[in-house]
Homo-oligomer: A and B are copies of this chain.
Amino acid sequence: MKYRKIPDETIRRLPMYLRAFSLLRTEATETISSRQLAQRLGLNSPQIRKDLSYFGAFGTRGVGYPVEATARRIRQILKLNKVQKAVLIGAGRLGTALVAYPGFSSFNLDIAAVLDNDPKKIGKKIGPIKIENTDRISTLKKRDIRLAILAVPAEAAQKTTENLVKAGIRGILNLSPCHLKPARPVKIIDIDLASQLGILPYYM
């Protein structure tokens, strides 16, 4: 295929593919066709073939995609072949739930630090991680932490973002219900839980 810009939507689906391939590996499946995979994921097969073909041809015609190799390739594309460290800002209920969430490790994502500005929480532990004061945000760079999960109240979100960007953070998963304006361009993914639930009644 001639060079084309890779659609954001394709990137968005890659983790889904990766999870499916990882699961298949535990089922001792060696190859899978785009049709079978589509069935599992609720997509249609040309979608999957096109997505994967952006990164070169790694299926075999008449057979399908090799599970092991394809998983490895997707991990490489997403830069998930080495552990990526993330910091959690905000050790509230939602934040705490995320630290305990087992789903991150299968993507090689590691919540390596938790920060909060509540003196009562600082020093306490969530699982194996000790909660640090928010002013330690400046130490993230030298600790090789480039990702942040933002789970602070809306009022604090903008200010925290500015500090995160200063501290060399390159990507933010924003769980607060507001639009962040980083000083430098940084990849931000917004997850607004209340808004998402608020959409549902419209479709009933």
Q: Give the CA-CA distance A46 to B186 in the complex, in Å.
A: 25
Residues 159 to 204 of chain A near chain B (Cβ within 8 Å): 170-173, 177, 179, 181, 187, 189, 191-204
**Given known A-B contacts A41-B179, A79-B202, A94-B97, A104 and B197 have beta carbons under 8 A apart:** yes
A66 at the interface (CB under 8 A from B): no
Judge whether B96 and A201 touch: CB under 8 Å: no
Chain B min CB distance to A87 (Å): 12
Segment at the B interface, from A8-16, A56-64, A134-142: A8-16
Number of copies: 2
A100 close to B93 (CB less than 8 A): yes
* Interface size, A (range): 35 or more
Contact between chains at B204 and A107 (CB < 8 Å): no
Shortest Cβ gap from A109 to chain B (Å): 6
Task: Pick from B41, B84, B203: contact of A187, CB below 8 A.
Answer: B203
At the interface, yes or no: A19 with Cβ under 8 Å from chain B? yes
Taken residue by residue from 61 to 88, chain A's Cβ proximity to chain B (1 for < 8 Å, 0 otherwise) reads as 0000000000000000111100010100
B interface footprint on A149-161 (CB within 8 Å = 1, 0 otherwise): 1000000000000
The minimal Cβ–Cβ distance linking A105 to chain B, given in whole angstroms, is 9
The answer to whether A204 and B100 have CB atoms under 8 Å apart is no
When A and B form their complex, which 5 residue pairs have the shortest distance between CB atoms, in order from nearest? Answer: A171-B200, A103-B194, A15-B195, A93-B97, A187-B203
